[in-house]
Amino acid sequence: MVARRFQTVTVMEASAVLISTLIGVGVLALPRFAAEAGNTGGPLVTLLGLVIALVGLALVTMVGMRFPRESIVQYGERVIGRWPARVGTALLILYFAALTSLTAREFGMVVVTSVLERTPVAITTIVMLVMAAVSSRSNMSTFAYAHLFYLPFILIPGFGIVLLAMKNATWLNVQPWLGNNPHPMSMATGALTIAALCQGSFVMTFVVPAMREPRRALRSSVWAMVVASALYLLTVLTTIAVFGAEATKLLLWPTLELAKTTMLPGQVLERLDALFLIVWVTAVFTSLYSTYALTARALQELSGLRDHKLLCVFLLPYVFVIAMLPRDILQMYRAIEWLGRIGLVLTVGYPLLLLIVAVCRKQRGELDAEA
């Protein structure tokens, strides 16, 4: 049971955690994934992927609300038994450690390609991982407040750049809306890839027990998903409208190219890619912060330790080694797509299993008397 002094996360802070976690490194390649899957129907593919992600987030939140003072590690053991739950938790730890590693590696590749061309990718990767490791040592109150603090620096410039880019759009580029002779299997695969970009929302399993009002967790999750989805959908729509579906497929990071073609009114800034990269670095940090903290806290509860701070340092070399395994950027993106689709089975299937079993057994946790 969570002590009252740790029940400090407000509904707004919970929403901020989700939004800043959902908007991360994947926004750079998102339009390319959508265009490859659906051509001019890229926005539709994105919408389908975001709906899948919303369903997964709703499942995670609902099972968390059923046990409002326990994390998924704790109520998992109560619902399906100790050892099956431990296996599920171990798989989650391995998955989110790998997800954190590949996110850091993608960040490093973008930085050394776009800005610091003479800097080894290992340096930029380890710097971001160290920042995430040090920050993850904080408690849940600090964790939530940090996300709330950074949120305006992500959302305001993010929406602003996309809206400014719309003046360069040719809306015929996104017609027909269903795509040019789209292949259903390709669109379905693309939707799953896009849904996989939102799996950081699993951090909600550790946010709900720390909320002052866990009964409002689902509302908080839905609003957060709507805001993040709006930015993702507008980004894909605008990028394909500006460049066209075929050109978008050829761009490694279409969103960065979109920022390069955008300027402020009056030509105050002729290119907004520098501003965009600043916003993007902030978004990557908050996403890494969440997945790293999630991995450390899950490992702490699985191991039975009283504190997760030492584990944050212990995880660092392992996460870094995994991050450096892909030989090049193509292998990295293949690993990201493969890992994301496999991870959907875990991050959606495991909470669904727990929810079904808990409902069938009529198991439910209770709020403590002082909450």
Q: How does pLDDT run across 93-104, given as a tens digit for each residue?
A: 999 999 999 999
pLDDT in tens, 333-363: 888 888 888 888 888 899 999 999 999 988 8
CATH number of 4-355: 1.20.1740.10
pLDDT of 68? 87
pTM of the model: 0.91
Average pLDDT over residues 110-115: 86
Q: Which residues of 82-93 are buried (b: 16+ CB within 10 A; e: fewer)?
A: eeebeebbeebb
Distance between CA atoms of residues 119 and 179, nearest Å: 40
> Apex CA 268: angle with CA 262 and CA 272, to 5°?
30
pLDDT in tens, 168-216: 888 888 888 887 777 788 888 889 989 988 888 889 988 989 888 888 9
Contact 324, 179 (CB under 8 A): no
Q: For the ranges 132-136, 281-285, 306-310, which has the lowest average pLDDT?
A: 306-310
Distance between CA atoms of residues 232 and 188, nearest Å: 18
- Concatenated DSSP letters of 15-82: HHHHHHHHSSGGGTTHHHHHHHHHGGGHHHHHHHHHHHHHHHHHHHHHHHHHSTTS-HHHHHHHHH-H
Instruction: Give the residue extent of every domain in the chain.
Output: 4-355
pLDDT of 285? 93
- DSSP 3-state assignment of 9? strand
Helix (H) or strand (E) holding 244: none
